Structure 1
Amino acid sequence: MSQKVTMQDVNRARLMTLGSWAINFAAQTYGMLTKPNMKDIHDTYHYAFSPNPMFIGVYFSMQVVIQLTWISKLWRPSGGRKDDASAYGEPSQLKYAPIYALGNLCIAGWMLFWNNENFVMSQALVTVNSFAQFYAVFVMLPPMTADNVWTHLTAQTFAGIGVLDFVDNGAVVLRLAGPPSTAIQVVTGLVFGLGALLTNPIFSATMLYNLVGLYFGQSGVWAKNLAWMIFATGIVVFFKLLTFKVPGQVRL
């Protein structure tokens, strides 16, 4: 039997989600405005899994819209039931809130270590975030329905970019210059391909986006091989999205 939701639970989730979002947003803003900024570091340490930074900026902007919409649901009761704690947020939102907050704090810390060229510590933080988001998406959250679509959008886009963060920072730590070995390229194709094939269309689309970002960040034979991965993954994502339908009516 599920535990009854109280306003104290809702207020705690509000504090965790909005507070951690604000901290992360401030850290990312600092990382973009300081000198050297995050792009300067990216350009200095450009390795085999470094994406085009423009794609990171676009993705971050998309996340801001999705996450603020999701967070706002904690202040907007469904049906105008202001005194009913269960009317705030989505059914899975309170459960995911601690992992979401952990992820924001990890990425905020990552920015500080990245800009100070402490890549081992930044890798530790992106690893914690990535696996926390994977746990949420693949283990903790129930299947996506109209009642929890914004929670899934938030979690799956967070997990999706976590894959790119992990390999990008990892390549910097290992000083893995491009093109990587044939074995690494094969493993990359398998990981991204299976990640797109065996998961929800949202996560599949993030895998495709990651590959496109990598393609525009690389060159030569490695970029050509990434293009083939994009082609194969794109077919998978296209048919997944073509047949995908969320049960019920999604509420903003």
Structure 2
Amino acid sequence: MGVSLSTARYLAPASFLYDFAAQQYGLWSSPNMMDIHNQNLSFFSPQPYFIGAFFFPQQLFQLAWMYRLLTLNDKNPSQAKDLATIQKFVPYYALGNVCIGTWMFFWNSSRLDISNIFVIVNTLTQLWYVNTQLEPMDTRNWNSILTHVVSKTFAGIGVLDLLHNTSAAYFVGQTPSMLVKALTGVGFAALGASSDWILGGCLVYDLVGLSVGQAQYGDQSWSSLLGAYAVGTAAIVGAKNYFRPPYVSRAAPYKQVAQDEVDDRA
């Protein structure tokens, strides 16, 4: 799935504006998204302000990323590779924005079964992209950093969206079974074991948001278990990335060459 550079430069901002407009509709319509949330509480209902607190800084990163998309020069060899990496993500970014924006209309219409389709498509697409299509992040390249932050925060919050919407659509008022509790722990542990610091941090944030929400809604034991899962997932992410650093540095080879030259002179 790819698009031309000229198309990408229209598609990304247009999809961002569509999603932003849909979110404003969700906030200010009646019933609004919070009303629907409160009417459909379940065992994966998070503290809703955790989601809002996540999206605000994420949108700032999106704007910075789009600025790079619009201003990098594809005729400049030093910028062309970075631009190609950004451009590659644009179709998935646009699909995510369209899914999230369209989700809002069905969510606010209390058609959570239909809204769940858009959540599933978005979450699975973003997870597939970051795990199979994204090159390792170059810590000395802001274009690479921004692409990783935007794509992985999309995927990370998508996991929470999937759990939340599915439980609200089909399990309103229910408590989690032992199978759900076990699968939650195993699932987050598995995702954490394959995540870098960015995606892994999002997963921990998801669990904290769920834990706080479940405590607020009265299921203290499930909240405590989710909190324990957050600690465990953080430990897995930390250990994995400590022993297998996920990032690269474009300057590293030059440092090694310089060191080799010093050794040769000695």
TM (normalized to structure 2)? 0.83
Counting aligned pairs with the same residue, the percent is 34
After superposition, the C-alpha distances for 1:119-155 in whole angstroms (9 at most, x for unaligned) are 1110000111111111211112222224422111111
Residue matched to 1:172: 168
Q: Distance in 2 between matches of 1:143 and 1:114?
A: 35
Contact 1:66 1:150 in 2 (8 A): yes
| CA shift in 2, pair 1:76/1:162, >3 Å | same
Larger radius of gyration: 2
Contact 1:208 1:233 in 2 (8 A): yes
Residue matched to 1:53: 48
Report deviation, 1:192: 1.0
1:87-236 paired onto structure 2 within 5 Å: 87=79, 90-146=83-139, 147=141, 148-219=144-215, 220-236=220-236
| CA shift in 2, pair 1:122/1:152, >3 Å | same
* SS, match of residue 87 in structure 2: helix
Report deviation, 1:242: 6.0
1:61-72 paired onto structure 2 within 5 Å: 61-72=56-67
Q: Distance in 2 between matches of 1:215 and 1:142?
A: 33
Structure number with higher helix proportion: 2
Q: Number of residue pairs matched? A: 241
Residue type of the partner of 2:62? Q
After superposition, the C-alpha distances for 1:141-170 in whole angstroms (9 at most, x for unaligned) are 222224422111111110111111111110
Q: Distance in 2 between matches of 1:162 and 1:233?
A: 17
Q: Distance in 1 between matches of 2:83 and 2:44?
A: 36
| CA shift in 2, pair 1:133/1:40, >3 Å | same
Contact 1:208 1:237 in 2 (8 A): no
* SS, match of residue 91 in structure 1: helix
Q: Distance in 2 between matches of 1:40 and 1:24?
A: 20
Residue matched to 1:32: 27
| RMSD of aligned Cα (Å) | 2.3
**For structure 2, which runs of at least 5 residues remain unmatched after alignment?**
252-266
Q: Distance in 1 between matches of 2:154 and 2:241?
A: 19
Residue matched to 1:3: none
Residue matched to 2:257: none
TM (normalized to structure 1)? 0.87
Tell me which stretches of 4 or more aligned residues in structure 1 moved more than 3 Å.
81-86, 88-91, 237-246
Q: Distance in 2 between matches of 1:122 and 1:191?
A: 23
After superposition, the C-alpha distances for 1:67-107 in whole angstroms (9 at most, x for unaligned) are 11111101232xxx585487365431111101110110000
Q: Distance in 2 between matches of 1:98 and 1:143?
A: 19
Residue type of the partner of 1:172? A
Residue matched to 1:247: 248
* SS, match of residue 214 in structure 2: coil
| CA shift in 2, pair 1:245/1:132, >3 Å | closer
Contact 1:178 1:222 in 2 (8 A): no
Report deviation, 1:245: 7.1
**For structure 1, which runs of at least 5 residues remain unmatched after alignment?**
1-7
Q: Distance in 2 between matches of 1:234 and 1:152?
A: 19
Residue type of the partner of 1:96? F
Q: Distance in 1 between matches of 2:163 and 2:111?
A: 16
* SS, match of residue 73 in structure 1: helix
Q: Distance in 2 between matches of 1:54 and 1:242?
A: 31
* SS, match of residue 32 in structure 1: helix
